[in-house]
Amino acid sequence: MLKIVVLVSGGGTNLQAILDRAAAGSLGDVKITCVISNNRGVKALDRAEQAGIPHRVVSPKDYPDREAFNEALLAAVESAEPDLVVLAGFLVAIPPAMVQAFPHRIINIHPSLIPAFCGKGYYGLKVHEAALRRGVRVTGATVHFVDEGTDTGPIILQKPVAVQQGDTPEILQRRVMEEAEWEILPEAIALIAAGAVSVEDGRVIIDRSLSGKEEK
Ligand code: GRF
């Protein structure tokens, strides 16, 4: 069994995509042991509650400084004893100590085709505003392992999404979530749970023969 902790900050639609795939029986032998949010009162926590999953808040507002928050966040994650940490719309920088504690065991969903529109300052709607400003015809989403950089770890899965005439950042964000994020994040978890994902020389190798789903 793959035990996962899911870190969230807001709406939790990526968490919901994971929950829905688990309910459909196609996530594999996975157990979400805890959902942790850095914000109180967000819909992601309601989604965890409705799914009967333990959840808690670790908020920077409750600590005197960033260092104390980082230590509390790491302690909360470690107490859930995860095999994998999943950042699902989590908008807090992961402290180096956590990356070191979970090497190639933290994954993140980013709403662009990395290396485009990523790095410091590129999150949420800002990513889609930049894509529209640049005039790209194709954007998408990326699931990657988290390293000590920002959106710089080995890429696991990506999915393209067409930009359409008249797109606003909000419309584009929704399409990228629906057509890409909500598919590739659960898929990455299922592949990792099947033991199909490894990292060699900084690049991800996926052996789909282990996942029972051959490359399309
Ligand atoms: C969205 O901008 C998504 O692209 C990014 O995090 C934000 C909220 O996601 N990954 P969620 O609805 O909280 O999962």
Q: Which two tokens stand for residue 92?
A: 């807090």
Angle between helices 43-50 and 13-23 (to 10 degrees): 20
User: For residue range 187-201, what is the model confidence (pLDDT) as tens digits?
Assistant: 999 999 999 999 999
Neighbours of 95 (CB within 10 A): 17
Q: What is the pTM for the complete model shown? A: 0.96
**Protein residue closest via CA to atom 12 of ligand 1:** 13
Which amino acid is located at 151 in the chain? D
Kindly list the structural domains of the chain, giving each domain's residue range(s) and its CATH number in brackets, ordered by start: 2-215 (3.40.50.170)
Q: Is 55 one of the catalytic residues?
A: no
Which amino acid is located at 23 in the chain? A
Give yes or no for residue 169 CB within 6 A of ligand 1. Answer: no
Ligand 1 atom nearest to 124, measured from its CA: 2
User: For residue range 18-68, what is the model confidence (pLDDT) as tens digits?
Assistant: 999 999 999 999 999 999 999 999 999 999 999 999 999 999 999 999 999
**CA 107–ligand 1 middle distance (angstroms):** 14
Give yes or no for residue 70 CB within 6 A of ligand 1. Answer: no
Q: Which two tokens stand for residue 154?
A: 């080995």
Give yes or no for residue 186 CB within 6 A of ligand 1. Answer: no
Could you give the C-alpha distances from 63 to 7, 66, 96, in angstroms and in order?
18, 7, 18
In angstroms, rounded to a whole number, what is the distance separating the alpha carbons of residues 26 and 169? 31
Place of tokens 């819909």: 43
Could you give the C-alpha distances from 25 to 160, 191, 208, in angstroms and in order?
26, 14, 18
In angstroms, rounded to a whole number, what is the distance separating the alpha carbons of residues 180 and 69? 32
Cis peptide before 111 (omega within 30 of 0): no
User: For residue range 119-167, what is the model confidence (pLDDT) as tens digits?
Assistant: 999 999 999 999 999 999 999 999 999 999 999 999 999 999 999 999 9
